[in-house]
Amino acid sequence: MKAQDRFAKAEVEHQAFLVELGQLTLAWADVETVLFKLLKHYAGVSWPVAQALFSGTRARNAINFIRAIADNTEMDPDRKHDLEATFSQILAINSLRDFVVHNINGSEQVFEDTDPSTRYVTDALRSSRKSKSKTYLVGSATIAAMREDCVECCWRLHPHWDPQNNPFRSGSGRTELQKWKFSPPNPTQEPKRGW
């Protein structure tokens, strides 16, 4: 592929990346809202008490609170299993989402030479040790899969606070469960460049 073609493809990918990152931000806010509602439900507290106790609670901590409640109340195993299946996907998305938003350089100039639909995202500049730094290839398709799974996670959690759903039946607040689209990328290494 000619350099001019690579940069043209990289520009299209960059615009798609920006759109998907914005949509992921909104979908992630929905995940945190649903987790807050779920935490309030399982804690068995009123809205004013939930706001006082859990205000500012992010996804990882909300999940840890819900897990503790599930253990301490001997929650139905089917209900716990359903929560864990969704929580594991939320945590996988959270890890890469945090990595991307804190380490993306916004550049449309630093992409995989053979595949301009992905870019290098690395924490090499901020890592305390070179041996601890990580690099991933991430494209708009990765971000889109994360966004779609955020929406699916929200729908999968809806049956948990349905008072008619007893005994518990896993499912979706919409028609049927969707397969997960996102799987975390493997770390890679950015090639040495002679710049």
Q: Can you give the pLDDT of all 195 residues of the chain as single tens digits? A: 687 888 888 889 989 999 999 999 999 999 999 999 999 999 999 999 999 999 999 999 999 999 999 999 999 999 999 999 999 999 999 999 999 999 887 666 567 777 888 888 888 888 888 888 899 999 999 999 999 999 999 999 999 988 888 888 888 878 788 999 999 999 988 766 554
Answer for the pair 81, 94: CB distance below 8 angstroms, yes or no.
no
Please tell me whether the peptide bond between 48 and the residue prior to it is cis, using omega within 30 degrees of 0: no
Q: Which residues contact 153 (CB under 8 A, 6 or more apart)?
A: 31, 34, 86, 89, 90, 93
What is residue 133's three-state secondary structure? Answer: coil
